[in-house]
Chains A and B, each alone.
Chain A
């Protein structure tokens, strides 16, 4: 089994898709059975229904003349993008905390505390403070994810080899240069990695926020159509969210690989 000979690639491919295919077949079988008993069943839609729901929400305007999927994706995307500004701000914050003892003392415990708070539990408070608009949705993502990013970057900055900082100082680097030219460029791909790994949490907080109060968004739609049990739409949205998350993950990976060739070497 440990032989170096290359396995024929088609069996490899087959094995890797095996579980997917199996689960799809089992699901389809189950859905088919339910539909034989109740042709109007909505809870376990067949793939044909899901595809239909997906094309409907993608290519046909709904009753209000809106291309739902596009509309929802844009609304959610905007929220994620705005929170990304704070996430990258968090990276900077973490670097500062790692380098300056004053910042460390002032903020470390604070963020450690916030990191431990389950953000979803304070969601009602957020809605009271920030209203029902976009601010509270972004705030939920920020409170949920940014402390983790800050602490992660902080630890990386703390673990930064002191020798290199000294070395930079002997080459007349100022404090801000040490942050921006020495530490940040080196820990940035690590931060990207940690953002990538935290993306699931970002999506989770996004959907939770949208479930509570919204007029558009991927999470909003999932919760609204639940009212009439449109599982076909829900599942197609879930797959779409999964696909988007996967693409973003792959995108960040590619970015790291292309832009930071030295990373992880």
Chain B
């Protein structure tokens, strides 16, 4: 009985201390970044996921090109393959320093969560890799009242929104069935009752093999709006420009190989195709709908053009109207986006996303 009392008192004391600790101001220690400075060279973690425009990263890793560039700048880079959404989540949670993602996720996941991010490399834009496919020759206009299978709040959703908009329809005119990307292709193929689906490559190629399925809208109809970026934490990049140098240098070395169209290109593409789980021919087909910026010059030109600002405006408005900037967001201007020319879109006191062309510029000027 006495023991019991003593134990209870101990627990109460512990509770109180815990409570006081919780209320007191934080010690303010940096719980930041997985970039450990232990040892000689700094180590950085970069996440990537399978997509035609991101396969070059895996090739850079496998061919040791990435390692070479990292060494050149005295750092270590670990490339981690993940599923797409978990990779972005890992990035937001601070498990990795950089991650490949589209401009849409860059805005609605890290930027909207206050993880200030920089678009280091603009690798490509989707030029047909995301598409709306239908059965029975249905056109976009015919979708009124029909079910559309897609991953809600993803780029597919954005494609639907733009497709409907261009055809004078509203989202409420159709029923969106949120369908996991892991099953969307077999589920659509095997259910003739499903009339419309929006997804991305390589699933599109798979679904298009069906005789009765037609593509009625694709990202090629809105070129440049969905960009595939290498996103780095702004503070990490600022403190460690070597990371930016190494990544950019490695990327454009791989791009040069891909552009040459010789035996080395074939070999590189074969490795990329293998890790994407498709045949070389299939991978080449996917690249046709991926507008790659093979030279740093072309990427630089596009990044500094007005087109990017216009695209981001579409995307941020979509994100806001779908609650992706936070359910409490009051305006699409809530998050600031800064462009290479210094132009700011949205709240200039809350800049969370930077388009930085300086590294691509260095690559273009052969300064890496």
Interface residues of chain A, those whose CB is within 8 Å of chain B, are 1, 3, 5, 7, 11, 14-15, 18, 21-22, 25-26, 28-29, 32-34, 36-43, 52-53, 56, 62-64, 123-124, 127-128, 131-132, 211-215, 220, 223-224, 226-230, 233
Using known A-B contacts A15-B11, A63-B321, determine if residue A214 contacts B92 with beta carbons closer than 8 Å: no
Given contacts A11-B8, A36-B26, A228-B112, 17 further A-B contacts (CB under 8 A): A14-B12, A18-B11, A32-B26, A34-B31, A37-B32, A39-B114, A41-B114, A42-B92, A42-B114, A123-B183, A124-B183, A124-B186, A132-B191, A227-B109, A229-B89, A229-B109, A229-B112
Q: Is B28 an interface residue (CB 8 A)?
A: yes
The residue from B15, B89, B149, B322 contacting A132, defined by CB atoms under 8 A apart = B149
Alpha-carbon gap, A142 to B28, bound state (A)? 51
Nearest CB of chain A from residue B65's CB, rounded to whole Å: 33
Using known A-B contacts A227-B153, A228-B109, determine if residue A213 contacts B176 with beta carbons closer than 8 Å: no
A224 touches B153 (CB 8 A): yes
B191 touches A131 (CB 8 A): yes
Alpha-carbon gap, A4 to B253, bound state (A)? 79
Alpha-carbon gap, A228 to B316, bound state (A)? 13
A228 touches B183 (CB 8 A): no
Nearest CB of chain B from residue A57's CB, rounded to whole Å: 9
Nearest CB of chain B from residue A21's CB, rounded to whole Å: 6
Residues of A close to B153: CB separation below 8 A: 224, 227-228
Interface segment, one of B16-24, B38-46, B265-273, B282-290: B16-24
Q: Is B221 an interface residue (CB 8 A)?
A: no
CB closest chain-A residue, reference B88: A229
CB closest chain-B residue, reference A19: B11
B176 touches A228 (CB 8 A): no
CB closest chain-A residue, reference B184: A213
A5 touches B1 (CB 8 A): yes
Chain A binding surface, main DSSP class: helix
Nearest CB of chain B from residue A230's CB, rounded to whole Å: 7
The residue from A25, A33, A39, A228 contacting B26, defined by CB atoms under 8 A apart = A33
CB closest chain-A residue, reference B5: A11
Alpha-carbon gap, A123 to B186, bound state (A)? 11
B22 touches A38 (CB 8 A): no
A128 touches B190 (CB 8 A): yes
Residues of A close to B5: CB separation below 8 A: 11
- Most chain A CB atoms below 10 A, which of B30, B183, B193: B183
Using known A-B contacts A33-B26, A213-B179, A227-B153, determine if residue A42 contacts B326 with beta carbons closer than 8 Å: yes
B178 touches A213 (CB 8 A): yes
CB closest chain-B residue, reference A224: B152
Alpha-carbon gap, A132 to B5, bound state (A)? 58
Alpha-carbon gap, A131 to B192, bound state (A)? 9
- Provide 21 A-B residue pairs closer than 8 Å at the C-beta atoms, listed in order of the A residue: A3-B1, A7-B1, A7-B4, A11-B5, A18-B15, A25-B15, A36-B26, A38-B113, A39-B114, A40-B114, A42-B92, A62-B323, A124-B183, A132-B191, A212-B182, A224-B178, A226-B89, A228-B153, A228-B319, A228-B324, A229-B112
Q: Is B172 an interface residue (CB 8 A)?
A: yes
Alpha-carbon gap, A5 to B89, bound state (A)? 53
- Most chain A CB atoms below 10 A, which of B31, B114, B153, B177: B114
Nearest CB of chain B from residue A120's CB, rounded to whole Å: 12
B187 touches A64 (CB 8 A): no
Using known A-B contacts A214-B177, A215-B178, determine if residue A41 contacts B26 with beta carbons closer than 8 Å: no
B114 touches A213 (CB 8 A): no
Residues of B close to A40: CB separation below 8 A: 112-115, 326, 352
A11 touches B4 (CB 8 A): yes
A214 touches B11 (CB 8 A): no
Using known A-B contacts A1-B1, A26-B18, A32-B22, determine if residue A212 contacts B323 with beta carbons closer than 8 Å: no
Q: Is B93 an interface residue (CB 8 A)?
A: yes
Residues of B close to A36: CB separation below 8 A: 26, 28
Nearest CB of chain A from residue B75's CB, rounded to whole Å: 24
Residues of B close to A215: CB separation below 8 A: 175-178
B152 touches A25 (CB 8 A): no
Q: Is B154 an interface residue (CB 8 A)?
A: yes
Alpha-carbon gap, A227 to B108, bound state (A)? 8
Using known A-B contacts A41-B114, A43-B92, A124-B186, determine if residue A214 contacts B22 with beta carbons closer than 8 Å: no
Q: Is B3 an interface residue (CB 8 A)?
A: yes
Residues of A close to B311: CB separation below 8 A: none
Alpha-carbon gap, A52 to B326, bound state (A)? 12
CB closest chain-B residue, reference A26: B18
Residues of A close to B1: CB separation below 8 A: 1, 3, 5, 7
Alpha-carbon gap, A9 to B36, bound state (A)? 50
Residues of B close to A227: CB separation below 8 A: 85, 108-109, 151-154, 324
Nearest CB of chain A from residue B305's CB, rounded to whole Å: 28
Using known A-B contacts A14-B11, A38-B114, A215-B175, determine if residue A25 contacts B18 with beta carbons closer than 8 Å: yes
Residues of B close to A21: CB separation below 8 A: 15
Residues of A close to B180: CB separation below 8 A: 211-213, 223
Residues of B close to A11: CB separation below 8 A: 4-5, 8
Alpha-carbon gap, A3 to B3, bound state (A)? 12
B22 touches A228 (CB 8 A): no
B187 touches A132 (CB 8 A): yes
CB closest chain-B residue, reference A42: B113
